[in-house]
Amino acid sequence: MLPVPSTTNLPARDAGMTTAEYAVGTVAAVGLAGILYKLVTSPEMRQLLWTIIQNAVQAFV
């Protein structure tokens, strides 16, 4: 069995650092998802996607 590294040797200033990094990453991911959702659901983007799909289907017909 492999030894488990001890976290008791960490300096106090590093305590909770990974939690803060996960929080920042989660907030960034949610923000990006919100922007992408608004972009994809906009009328202009829907029209662009519909045009791309129609052209792709017509290329095979």
Query: pLDDT, tens digit, for every residue of 5-27?
Result: 666 665 666 556 678 888 999 99
pLDDT at 12 (0 to 100): 60
Which pLDDT value is given to residue 20? 83
Q: What is the pTM of this model?
A: 0.52
Query: 27-47 burial, b if ≥16 CB within 10 A, otherwise e?
Result: eeeeeeeeeeeeeeeeeeeee
The residue among 14, 59, 10 whose CA lies nearest residue 51 is 59
Res 21: pLDDT: 86
| pLDDT of 58 above 70 | yes
Round the average pLDDT of the chain to a whole number and report it.
83
Going from N- to C-terminal start, the domains of the chain cover 35-61
Tokens of 48: 């662009």
Q: Tokens 């799909």 — which residue?
A: 53
